[in-house]
Structure 1
Amino acid sequence: MRKLARTIHFDESDRNVFARPAASDEWALSGGFEFSNWTSGELTGKARQAFANGWLGLESFGRATFVAVAKIEQEELDALTESLAAHFETYYGAPGREAALAAAREEIGFMEELCEDQEPNTLLIVERELTDAGVREKFRAIRPQDADITQVAVHGAGE
């Protein structure tokens, strides 16, 4: 069984914190490549939030705070690879289709590795920091049976 992750929203906060929020249920990647040439001067406002903990949705190329592990079919993976390769050519200047496809396969493969040992519906969280060596990513998983609403939401006192 192949697995990847889909964006998930528990509330409307992503619409407020990201310049381009991903829609719910998009296939997603870490998307750390977007920040590979960034400097600390670029880490302000909504861009900082996207850098700090945003997953990259593969339809909108927007960001989401949470993703959930899900099964994926080979046909879907193939389509995502093609779409991501086209994105690399259009927005990142990949030197050709083969180079773009190789980069897309690598990014999707990395996400598959993150998901392969996780149960479906496991929540994944990414945290990034900019170091002298570049972008460092850390990942955390919250298994479905360990999830507690207080880990992802804040509730006020009811009336």
Structure 2
Amino acid sequence: MKLARAIHFDESDTRVFHSPARTGEWCLSGGFEFSNWSDGDLVGKAKQAFTNGWMGLETFGRTTFVAVAQLEPFEREALAKSLAQHFVSIYGAPSVEAAMGTALDEIDQMIDLCEDHPPNTLLTITRELTPAGVKESYGMIEPQDAGIDQFAVHGSLDDEPHQH
């Protein structure tokens, strides 16, 4: 099973997003955040988060790039609980239990997106607002022979805690 982690090549995410994701945290699309947005919401840093931001599952901040990585089955459940709590705290879901199904669906959509890519594949996201709602599309950059470790800024992975 695979998911994706926030990765940074420079400090640009700290300048373009209100709340940048932490390097190394697990991520998903997070498109649900924009489900009720209109053109009037698409300004400044909010527009950047909408247009090109993956959502971290620890900070709920945004990152431009994610890298595919191996996910252990026990981590999926913990991430879903964290996301379900986010749905309660931010979006008014009645309980973590009630939000678990939606949280698992969001995580499983991201797992499906990552599954066919080798580890260290970089993924990008682009969103646009259409009359039918938010449209997401994904880009992929295959791992190079030199290795992503030579270019990326990595954070500690010690305390580890989607698509429409």
Structure 1 position 7 matched with structure 2 position 35: no
Structure 1 position 28 matched with structure 2 position 7: no
Deviation at 1:21, TM superposition (A): 0.5
Match of 2:89 in 1: 90
What is the distance in 2 between the residues matched to 1:22 and 1:143?
Answer: 22
Confirm or deny: 8 A CA contact 2:81 2:96 kept in the other structure.
no
Match of 1:155 in 2: none
Match of 2:38 in 1: 39
Point out the more displaced range, 90-99 or 78-87. 90-99
Deviation at 1:94, TM superposition (A): 1.3
Q: If you compute each CA radius of gyration, which structure gives the higher value, 1 or 2?
A: 1
Point out the more displaced range, 137-146 or 66-75. 137-146
Q: Secondary structure at the match of 1:28?
A: strand
What is the distance in 2 between the residues matched to 1:26 and 1:16?
Answer: 19
Deviation at 1:93, TM superposition (A): 1.1
What is the distance in 1 between the residues matched to 2:96 and 2:19?
Answer: 26
Deviation at 1:76, TM superposition (A): 1.1
Match of 1:63 in 2: 62
Structure-to-structure mapping, 1:1-159, within 5 angstroms: 2-145=1-144
Q: Secondary structure at the match of 2:135?
A: strand
What is the distance in 1 between the residues matched to 2:82 and 2:142?
Answer: 30
Structure 1 unaligned segments of length 5 or more: list them: 153-159
Indicate the percent of aligned positions where both proteins have the same amino acid: 63
Deviation at 1:146, TM superposition (A): 8.1
Confirm or deny: 8 A CA contact 2:5 2:27 kept in the other structure.
yes
Structure 1's consecutive aligned runs of 4 or more residues displaced over 2 angstroms after TM superposition are 95-99
Q: Which amino acid aligns with 2:111?
A: E
Deviation at 1:145, TM superposition (A): 3.0
Q: 1:24-46, CA deviations, whole angstroms, 9 ceiling, x for partnerless residues?
A: 00000000000000011000000
Deviation at 1:77, TM superposition (A): 1.1
What is the distance in 2 between the residues matched to 1:59 and 1:105?
Answer: 15
